[in-house]
Structure 1
Amino acid sequence: MAALSGGEMCIKYLMFAFNLIFWLAGTAVLAVGLWLRLDGKTKGLFEGTDAPYVFCSGVYILIGVGALMMVLGFLGCCGAIQESPCMLGLFFCFLLIIFAIEVAAGVWGFSNQSKVVQDITNFYTQTYNNYKETRDENLKQTLLVIHKELNCCGPKGIAEETEKDTCSRGEPLQDFITESCPDAIDKVFDSKLHIIAGVGVTVGIVLVFGMIFSMLLCCAIRKSREVV
């Protein structure tokens, strides 16, 4: 195997450094997905047969993409170290596919933001109404988690007699000033949206640099092997 020049070796190690960053970016995406899945403020949304489909699907997609990025980051490091044009070419193709999916998902997410929030609000309202009718213990536990973590109580923010066993007990005046759960849900997703958007933009930038470095290194390796 012909040796790479000094500049090409620089590209090689830049490629390795990129894949390390890419692996870390995948870790961040996976962490955001797991955070939304396991955080006390949102994990109750995944419980029960009436869980909001749009939100749950989006979170599981984040977890899957994050795990895939971590695997690709590891493979990209191997391709750079072994100077394999085939592995680098496949790595480029996978990055391009992930970039296209991320752009499509970002456009879809922002265009359907209100739908996601409405879907979750409908899930809460349905859970609340079903509990009032059936007094099912599982529904009660779901409402307890939502009310406690979001610091809200009921659809109107006022603890009625049928709601007091699922709302946190506080000062007597708190019954009149507690935020309604639909408003609390809206605020939670507004506060997390900029974090998700920031991670998405960072990942997109990393993907573009990864495609550039992988093609430069692949071309450099092929060029070096053509030298007799």
Structure 2
Amino acid sequence: MSGKHYKGQEVSCCIKYFIFGFNIIFWVRDFQLIRALCVPQGVLSNISSITDLGGFDPVWLFLVVGGVMFILGFAGCIGALRENTLLLKFFSVFLGIIFFLELTAGVLAFVFKDWIKDQLNFFINNNIRAYRDDIDLQNLIDFTQEYWECCGAFGADDWNLNIYFNCTDSNPSREKCGVPFSCCTKDPAEDVINTQCGYDVRAKSVSLQKTYIHVKGCVPQFEKWLQDNLTVVAGIFIGVALLQIFGICLAQNLISDIEAVRASW
């Protein structure tokens, strides 16, 4: 080369390694998601039994989405690192497709909001029926009721669906006519959770129940939470969308740089 240096078009190192770093984070995350879904234990292993999707197991949907995102992250990483325009174009095109699919899902969610509400009601009620049968589902419903300060799908009486909590005369359980502790209103002065606070509470009048438990259902409480946090939820979705658009623009910019360098050879 005798001291001569190439001074033509160069590939931007900032864009190249930003795309690589961006994708390596999501690649690792998607790998962990796929590994978690492949483990047979946990709440996801029983989710098909408490949803009304015609026998379709939502775990497969999560698995496919995780697999696609894993492949996409891999293509972005290797494409940026090796300056492979084919992989970068694959990354850019599929990221655009995912963006439009998310946009379509958002529109469909708004159009079919009543169906989603019915699915949430079905999910919670089926979870109530299986409350004592699966510890993971039990923890899920307890977390939901504590977080949204609710009880049952539309009210505390939904716990009549559970064989341990229903108020029938044939029920020998000590939890008869009660609710789980997660329905109870919390006393700030109590350091230890009283797991028996919901015993016999539904045998009392509705006015008395309000002093012991949350009487609002989780479906209306979830709707209220969405309305109260609409700005935050919308901001998250907009942020994710802008991040995807930004990724597409960076990938296209890097492709242009690589092609310009190759054209100058």
Distance in 2, matches of 1:154 and 1:80, equals: 48
Equivalence map 1:71-220=2 (5 Å): 71-125=71-125, 138=130, 141=133, 148-149=142-143, 150=145, 152-153=151-152, 155-158=154-157, 161-162=167-168, 164-165=175-176, 167-168=179-180, 169-170=196-197, 175=202, 176-177=209-210, 178-180=213-215, 183-188=217-222, 191=225, 197-220=234-257
Which of 1, 11, 15 in structure 2 is aligned with 1:9? 11
Instruction: Identify if the C-alpha distance between structure 1 residues 95 and 78 changes in structure 2 by more than 3 Å, giving closer, same or farther.
Output: same
- Determine if contact 1:22/1:207 at 8 Å carries over to the other structure: no
- Determine if contact 1:45/1:51 at 8 Å carries over to the other structure: no
Aligned residues: CA RMSD? 4.5
Distance in 1, matches of 2:57 and 2:264, equals: 51
Instruction: Identify if the C-alpha distance between structure 1 residues 5 and 24 changes in structure 2 by more than 3 Å, giving closer, same or farther.
Output: farther
1:87, distance to aligned residue in structure 2 (A): 1.6
Distance in 2, matches of 1:109 and 1:62, equals: 18
Distance in 2, matches of 1:15 and 1:173, equals: 64
Normalising by structure 2, we get a TM-score of 0.57
1:79, distance to aligned residue in structure 2 (A): 0.9
2:189 aligned residue: none
Distance in 2, matches of 1:26 and 1:198, equals: 24
What residue ranges of structure 1 are gaps of 5+ in the alignment?
A: 36-42, 132-137
What residue ranges of structure 2 are gaps of 5+ in the alignment?
A: 37-42, 158-164, 181-195, 203-208
Q: Deviations over 1:130-161 (max 9, x none)?
A: x6xxxxxx575369657644152575425762
1:40 aligned residue: none
Higher relative contact order (CA 8 A, sep 6+): 1
Instruction: Identify if the C-alpha distance between structure 1 residues 173 and 45 changes in structure 2 by more than 3 Å, giving closer, same or farther.
Output: farther
1:225 aligned residue: 262
Q: Kindly indicate which of the two structures has a greater share of residues assigned to helix.
A: 1
Distance in 1, matches of 2:219 and 2:94, equals: 36
Instruction: Identify if the C-alpha distance between structure 1 residues 31 and 202 changes in structure 2 by more than 3 Å, giving closer, same or farther.
Output: farther
Name the SS for the 2:156 alignment partner. coil
Name the SS for the 2:197 alignment partner. coil
* Higher gyration radius (CA): 2
Name the SS for the 1:49 alignment partner. helix
Instruction: Identify if the C-alpha distance between structure 1 residues 99 and 44 changes in structure 2 by more than 3 Å, giving closer, same or farther.
Output: closer
The residue identity in structure 2 corresponding to 1:212 is C
* Identity, % of aligned positions: 18
- Determine if contact 1:25/1:203 at 8 Å carries over to the other structure: no
Distance in 1, matches of 2:52 and 2:95, equals: 30
